[in-house]
Amino acid sequence: MTEYLVKDVTSNTSGITRPMFVQEITKIGEGAFGTVLQANLKNALSEPNSPQDVWIGPFAIKKVPAQTEYKSRELQILKQTNHPNIVALKYYYNYPNKDDNNRVYQHLAMECLPCNLQSEIKRYYMNKSFLPESHIRVYTFQIARAMNYLHSFQICHRDIKPSNILINPETLLLKICDFGSAKVLEPNQPSVSYICSRYYRAPELIVGCCIYTTKIDIWGLGCVMGEMYMGKPVFQGQEPMLQLREITKLLGPPSEKFIYTANPQYNGPMYSHKIYSSTAETRFQKVFNNADADAVDLLMQVLVYSPTERYGPSQIMAHKFFNEIKSINFTVQSRASTTPLKIDNLLFNFSDYELRTFGSLINDILPRS
């Protein structure tokens, strides 16, 4: 356990900057971006033994090199967002990293949840079972709700996958995290196509599309939902170009129009030869054989080649797959409790802003009495 003093720590809620002690507890994540630590904070100006002289937390503190375009983008997006299904930024500060020649690192102190969706899926899979369908409904609805909010500001997460989705298995609360790849997409402005983790990369990105939309996140949602049913990633290409081949096994070959619209210069493999004679619906039913008919239908609306034909987040929330959880009497049992949970306050605590984004679909999204 490491403790140190940081002179300038800014609260994201109040905007006040003050010195604080940081108590690093343990490493909880690591990747190309940097490191995530579990840590507590304490006001350095509080009187000893006063009510303010206490450690607060734990927080998940993400440490990334400062002064890079991606990292300033992440901070700006987290400062802008305020939603129950998006991880909240609590404090931020810069501090030299002694493990990297005292290079200045940006530290983002965010709320901490017990685990991520990847570990939850794996937990069930290792026990030769799958997430209960009621849990899949509750989690998928919250992912779509978070995307509805983000996409209303044209914020594209660009790395949707189970490890970037935090959950509390006791309450079934879900929050999207890790906005290190996120970007506000401007209409008809190019962005890098080599983005998103491979198994969750939308087909238009695979063929090199540089002018894409927030619908790439919707593809990620479909992959995550499918993975909750299968216990493993839906499309597991061993290298980037083989990823498209895996997709064709389920969706069939992409049309020439899709390829040309996504990237007129694309000269890679088209996988135009049909592997199976069965219909796409039959293949979806076979691959997701423990999903009910409504789940298969929703998956077929989001795992679609053409981004313009892919459902938007509010269309997903209005889908009949979620009718069960919209019932006033709906309860769900978490794996941590034997008492049925009533979770309407978790799913339907919409802000006025959110309600306005639903448009004509509002009555299909709201719970039913």
Helix H, strand E, coil C: the string for 343-356 is CHHHHCCCCHHHHH
b/e per residue, 193-218, with b = 16+ CB within 10 A? bebbbbbbbbbbbbbbbeebbbbbbb
- Quote the CA–CA distance of 302 and 311 in Å, as a whole number: 6
Contact 234, 291 (CB under 8 A): no
Neighbours of 177 (CB within 10 A): 22
Contact 165, 140 (CB under 8 A): no
Positive or negative: CA dihedral 313, 318, 322, 326 = positive
Of 159, 178, 217, 352, the catalytic one is 159
Q: From residue 305, how far is each of 71, 217, 310 by CA, in Å?
A: 31, 13, 8
| DSSP structure class, residue 293 | H
* Sequence-ordered list of residues with C-beta below 8 angstroms from that of 306, at least 6 positions apart, any chain: 258, 261
- Quote the CA–CA distance of 299 and 136 in Å, as a whole number: 12
* Sequence-ordered list of residues with C-beta below 8 angstroms from that of 83, at least 6 positions apart, any chain: 146, 149, 150
**Type of residue found at 108:** L
State yes or no: is 53 an active-site residue: no
Q: Of 19, 10, 17, which is closest to residue 42 (Cα–Cα)?
A: 19
Tell me phi and psi for residue 7, to 5 degrees: -70, -40
- Quote the CA–CA distance of 348 and 365 in Å, as a whole number: 9
List the Cα angle 196/213/247 in 5-degree steps: 50
Enzyme catalytic residues: 159
